[in-house]
Structure 1
Amino acid sequence: MILIADSGSTKTSWRLLTAEGEVAQAHTIGINPYYQESAEITQSLQESLLPQLPQHMPEEIYFYGAGCSAKDKQEVVASALRALFPSSDVSVHHDLEAAARALCGHEEGIACILGTGSNSCHYDGEKIVESMPNLGFILGDEGSGGYMGKLLVQAYLNLELPQDLHQAFFERYQVGRDEIIDQVYRKPYPNRYMAGFAKFMHDHRNHPYLYQMIFKCFADFFEKTVTKYPDYQQRGTHFVGSIAFYFSDILRTVAQQYHINVKNILESPIAGLSLYHQQKITV
């Protein structure tokens, strides 16, 4: 029996698998070792994950998560999972591996994540061979929900939004400068908070002002990441994440400007990961 998880900064999808097929699935909040310590993760999962799963102890656990590229951050998550499942063999991987396996399968390509945060890599069909630096919410995350929200809130607070959008934003959220500053600079998970405003942008994406803002978000992502991979125009480029999925029409339009061949766009990699590990169990 195998437990697999795909985690971003906002949400985590879990699947419990056997050789005969799926046993259970569950959903919890996102896990990111850059923002959480092991004890906090363990307590959160004990309250949210365990009640959703049958009383089975998985032999193996494969966790794919945002912020899990460095060994020390992987150990933060691994320690939390071992506390809950002491007899399980725990393996923690970067979320880019989940994206590459789910999107590209065994083919070469460029795999991109556009969710609360953003990331990308060149995958050779078996492993990641190159990735652009991920600078996180403060210095990077171009094209992500957090990046979109940041641009929108900046325009709102600087009184740069057209009057109709400014009024719609205020009526929907009823927030001002002080509350936003407090959420961003004093409270945890500012990336999640900012990414929440991407829903407003989606609802008003046909407004010329916001359309151009969304266009810029994706153009910034392509400029900072995809266009820096050698021969990127000759390779298929794939996307996973809620931002890529729900803004796919604009994403494809921007990609055409850079002669980027967009192929698969998935909301979540969990189905592809389930298939990958199901095949391993069967074999």
Structure 2
Amino acid sequence: MILIADSGSTKTDWVAWGTEVPAVRFQSVGFNPFYQTEAVILEALQHEVLPQVPTASHIFFYGAGCADEQSARPVWQALRRSFPGAPVEVNSDLLAAARALCGHEAGIACILGTGANNCLYDGTRILNNVGSLGFWMGDEGSGGYLGKTLVVRFLHKELPPEIHERFASAYPEIDRFSVLENAYKKPFPNRYFATFTRFLSDNLPHPYIRQLIREAFGVFLEKYVLKHPDAPAYPVHFTGSVAYYFRELLAEAVAEKELRMGTIQKSPMEGLLRYHGID
């Protein structure tokens, strides 16, 4: 049984595939070694993954926060302990995006989900990555960034009156103290702020909301994509829920920057299955 995982900060998509049994698809919580210890990851694997797939012959794990061997080690160790004897390969979610979106062709692969990332890919390996500084200092264009921008403008009373009223009605519990507690005292502030993208989606026809989202995408393209060598020469591909659900505005932002629009996939998994020769 080959086990492939694509993990973000919020959720992990899993596919277990064997030649003599039907493929098994399921989801678990997200795994990110920047926020979780090996013990926490191990516990989640035992409760959410092992009941679905008790054994595996080879594991390909792609995840947020797994940029190199050292940073990925908590995930690697937890998987080795959960599946003794199975070879485990842990790579970044960025390599997953590149392989899924570009296959064996050159291109710029971008992630816009709870977080954000990007790379220039030559069809085999990542040539260049303009690194994000994470949720608090970067991740422009991501769900966390969009939600944070919206909430800050609400608290500062910078939203148009009708949008302010809709937000207050949708989230009556929101005030300065609840936001600060979720931002600084509770785990996964990026997940917390990303939940507010639902409000953006629900109010997408409003010009102010559209402009807020388009501006965020423009900042992402300026700070990251346009800094790759010869960026206009490559198709720019995207994966992630934010890219997918706001794809019309994303395409507009890409056109404004005179870049080549590539494909948009909600999840890299189908592309990863093709890359690993699993139909």
Calculate the TM-score normalised by the size of structure 2: 0.97
- Equivalent AA in structure 2 for residue 34 of structure 1: F
Residue 173 (structure 1) shift: 1.6
Q: 2:277, 2:122 → 1: CA distance?
A: 22
* Cα-to-partner distance string for 1:21-60 (whole Å, 9 max, x where unaligned): 752111011110000000101101211122233x4x2111
Query: How far 1:274 moved relative to its partner?
Result: 1.5
1:145 and 1:121 mapped to 2: Cα distance?
A: 19
Q: How has the CA–CA distance of structure 1 residues 22 and 237 changed in structure 2, closer, same or farther, with 3 Å as cutoff?
A: farther
| 200-209 or 32-41: bigger deviation | 200-209
How many Å separate the matches in 2 of 1:241 and 1:277? 20
Structure 1 stretches of 4+ moved >4 Å: none
* 1:6-27 Cα deviation digits (max 9, x unpaired): 0000110000112357521110
For 1:82, give the aligned amino acid. Answer: R
1:133 aligned partner? 131
Cα 1:215/1:124, change in 2 over 3 Å: same
- In structure 2, C-alpha distance between the alignment counterparts of 1:22 and 1:169, rounded to whole Å: 45
Distance in 1 separating the partners of 2:22 and 2:138: 37
Shift of 1:207: 0.9
Q: Which residue of 1 aligns with 2:112?
A: 114
Q: How does 1:230-245 map to 2 (within 5 A)?
A: 230-245=229-244
Q: Distance in 2 between matches of 1:176 and 1:154?
A: 10
- In 1, Cα distance between equivalents of 2:257 and 2:21: 42
Aligned partners of 2:90, 2:22: CA distance in 1, in Å?
Answer: 21
- The 5 A counterparts of 1:1-283 are 1-19=1-19, 22-53=22-53, 55=54, 57-174=55-172, 175-279=174-278
User: How far apart are the structure 2 equivalents of 1:20 and 1:27?
Assistant: 22
Q: 2:261 is aligned with what amino acid?
A: V
Number of residue pairs matched?
A: 278
SS for the counterpart of 2:51 is helix
Q: CA deviation digits over 1:96-129, x for unaligned, max 9? A: 1100010001110000000000000000011111
Deviation at 1:209, TM superposition (A): 1.3
Classify 1:266/1:21 alpha carbon distance in 2 versus 1 (closer, same or farther; 3 Å).
farther
- Output the CA distance in 2 between the equivalents of 1:277 and 1:203: 37
Structure 2: runs of 5+ lacking an equivalent? none
Task: Spell out, residue by residue over 1:72-108, the C-alpha distance to the aligned partner (whole angstroms, 9 max, x if none).
Answer: 2211100111111112111100001100010001110
Say if 1:236 and 1:150 are closer, same or farther in 2 by CA, change over 3 A: same
| CA displacement 1:108-159 (0-9 Å, x = unmatched) | 0000000000000000011111110121001100110000001001100001
**One-letter amino acid matched to 2:246:** F
Q: Which runs of 5+ in 1 are unaligned?
A: none
Q: Matches of 1:101 and 1:90 in 2, distance apart? A: 18
What is the alpha-carbon distance in structure 1 between the residues aligned to residue 21 and residue 106 of structure 2? 28
User: RMSD value over aligned CA atoms?
Assistant: 1.3
One-letter code aligned to 1:269: P
SS in 2 for 1:265: strand
* CA distance in structure 2 between the aligned counterparts of 1:201 and 1:22, rounded to whole angstroms: 38
| 1:88–1:225 distance in 2 versus 1, CA, 3 Å | same
TM-fit CA distance, 1:176: 1.1
Contact 2:68 2:91 in 1 (8 A): no
